[in-house]
Structure 1
Amino acid sequence: MKKLSYPLAFSGLLAGLVLFYACGNSSGVDPETVPPVPKTQVDTISIALTDIRMEERFPATVFYPESNRLAAPITGYILRSPHEIGETVSAGQLLYTLETKEHRAINADEELKKTDLAGMGILNVKAPASGVLLTLEQRQGDFVSEGSTLCTIARSDKIGFRLSVPYEFNRYVANGTGCMVELPDGTQIPARIAENLSTAVITSQTQTYLVKPMKPVALPEGLNVMIVIPTEGAKRAAVLPRAAVLANETMDEFWVMQLINDSTAVKIPVTLGLTTGESVQIQTPAFSPGDRILFEGNYGLGDTALVKIKPRKE
């Protein structure tokens, strides 16, 4: 009987080892085949120290406080005239050529037009000053009386922009304040606030100002433009792109995701300052130029997140 106990004991031991191994690896998964924790691909940026400025934009229209009325010096026919309203003219530029009735009659006669009389009765009218044609009452082919208005020329050196500003922004629109005139095509012209025109529009609660360009320009009267006025600014502000700053639903808490190493980003609450365009001023905390802030792949990350930095393209 003792001889039979050894195989049974060995068999029991072997079964126990198999059972123990099976329980210890009950998942049936090889540890080496477990996939790694996924990492979000991100891109980073550093704090920029730069001047930042906030601006407000207000509507304005072109107008000319001073203009020149060009009158016909004689009675006669117009042989030449400007082409269209809004045309730019220079001082001394030929605008009109007039012909008297006598000149026309003389040149209609075959004998008389060979005499010295044929050269009389033609008169040129030139622009008295540089500017823009505001009106064009008479054109080529018309018959005009002496003293009648041919056209009106707005002096380009007297051009102004009539600006309407809501009352709450009046503190930013003092006389002498620098600004920019933005034309419909995006062109910007340096200008300044010249004076308060002392006219208030009660219905829209706005105040009217005169804006003068720093250099004369020729623009059609009545053209709608925008006046860009600086309101607040900061020198050497710590600035990040808007995309780097995250916020809660009520927009009263803000934060950024900062890398603490090459694979881990953590949530850092921030206090914002001025915001303009695509830039945001970070008032607190004070980041160093070497700190890496996420601006791509940062949305939806937890307080601490595993990330993978996108390779830089050469």
Structure 2
Amino acid sequence: MKSAVNFILITFLLGFFVSCKSKTIDTTINTDVPKVAVKTTTVIYGEIDDIVSLNGKTVFLKKDAVISSITGYVKKVNVQYGDEVHKNDLLFEIQTKENRALENSGLDQELASLKSGIVSILAPSDGIISDLNANSTGMFVAEGAQLCTIVANKEITVLVNVPYQYNKWIKINKACKIILPDSTFLDGNIVKIMPLINAVTQTQDVLIKVRDNRQVPENLNVIVQFVRSNHSNAMLIPKEALLTNEAQQAFWVMKILHDSLAINVPVKKGFENNRMVEIFSPDISVNDTLISEGAYGLPDSTIVKVVK
């Protein structure tokens, strides 16, 4: 009887060990699943600005009209359209009607050639010649007629139409950044805020003085950025690490645990710029690892493989 009991006990124990071994093998096979390759980034502390971006255009405010001081005929044109001139450069010579009549009579050529009947028109300022109306000799011009315009092209100003909702952040001497179409930028300061509102657009004209000496053409469309607020100890991540739905009403990140498990963590979005975005979440800390590439469409608790 005792031998029979021992035989049954031994048989039961052998069956139990075999069963445990089989379960261990099955578990190993089930965890050997394909892993999604992803790239990662880390959460950092940093400073970020709340930036308002508005459209603007370059303008030249100083434009000097060059006028004829007498009635007569254009004797000499010393400039061409687009020429750069300096103050007191000779632009035109205007011949009086009397001198021209004497010259055409042929009676006294020496008397007709005297400078007393010819008036020199000089440049009143430095700049570029534009609107060249007197472009050829022999033209008749009346006293006060505009011969050309000199544009002070080295004094660049940017005109911005600012919605009134931003009025409290727009102050004289406030610094701003001007981004050109070639992605370069200039620094400027607000110099004038017009006390008028456009009745249709409800915007206010603001003039910005450019501090750089770079030559920029007039009527160039630019983007002007003002800093509205600043966070100095913000939790920042690259913009590509932040995920959202189609309506952009919910935001989340994919956080990596144990070097291979990606979990979905909801976050709130704060300030952002062209590279970084501020996030808020009690479940995210500085130096946490997040997926920066390959997270789109990943379900929660996905096994991933981090690649460089």
Superposition TM-score, scaled by structure 1 size: 0.71
CA contact under 8 A between 1:88 and 1:218: conserved in structure 2? no
1:135 and 2:146 correspond: no
Computing the radius of gyration from Cα coordinates, the structure with the larger value is 1
Distance 1:269 1:127, change over 3 A: same
Specify the code of the residue in structure 1 equivalent to 2:185.
Q
CA contact under 8 A between 1:165 and 1:207: conserved in structure 2? yes
Which residue does 2:192 correspond to in 1?
Answer: 195
Distance 1:219 1:253, change over 3 A: closer
Which residue does 1:267 correspond to in 2?
Answer: 264
Cα RMSD after superposing both structures: 3.9
Distance 1:295 1:186, change over 3 A: closer
Cα offsets for 1:48-83 (capped at 9, x unmatched): 433322322323344455432222355332432433
User: Any unmatched runs of 5+ in structure 2?
Assistant: 1-18, 20-24
Which residue does 1:298 correspond to in 2?
Answer: 295
Cα distance in 1, alignment partners of residues 52 and 141 from structure 2 = 50
Distance 1:77 1:208, change over 3 A: closer
User: Any unmatched runs of 5+ in structure 1?
Assistant: 1-23, 25-29
Cα offsets for 1:25-46 (capped at 9, x unmatched): xxxxx97998930100011112
Give the aligned length: 279
Identity of aligned residues (%): 27
Using the TM superposition, name which of 214-223 and 203-212 deviates more. Answer: 214-223
Which residues in structure 2 correspond to 1:76-95 (within 5 Å)? 76-84=73-81, 88-95=84-91
1:288 and 2:294 correspond: no
Specify the code of the residue in structure 1 equivalent to 2:237.
L
Using the TM superposition, name which of 200-209 and 118-127 deviates more. Answer: 118-127
Distance 1:293 1:83, change over 3 A: same
Cα offsets for 1:228-283 (capped at 9, x unmatched): 22223222532212221223455444322222223222233323211222421123
Which residues in structure 2 correspond to 1:89-238 (within 5 Å)? 89-97=85-93, 102=99, 120=115, 125-141=121-137, 142-156=139-153, 160-214=157-211, 222-238=219-235
Cα distance in 2, alignment partners of residues 304 and 211 from structure 1 = 52
1:247 and 2:244 correspond: yes
Residue 52 of structure 1 aligns to a residue in which SS?
A: strand
Which residue does 1:3 correspond to in 2?
Answer: none
1:71 and 2:103 correspond: no
Cα distance in 2, alignment partners of residues 255 and 205 from structure 1 = 37
Using the TM superposition, name which of 274-283 and 69-78 deviates more. Answer: 69-78
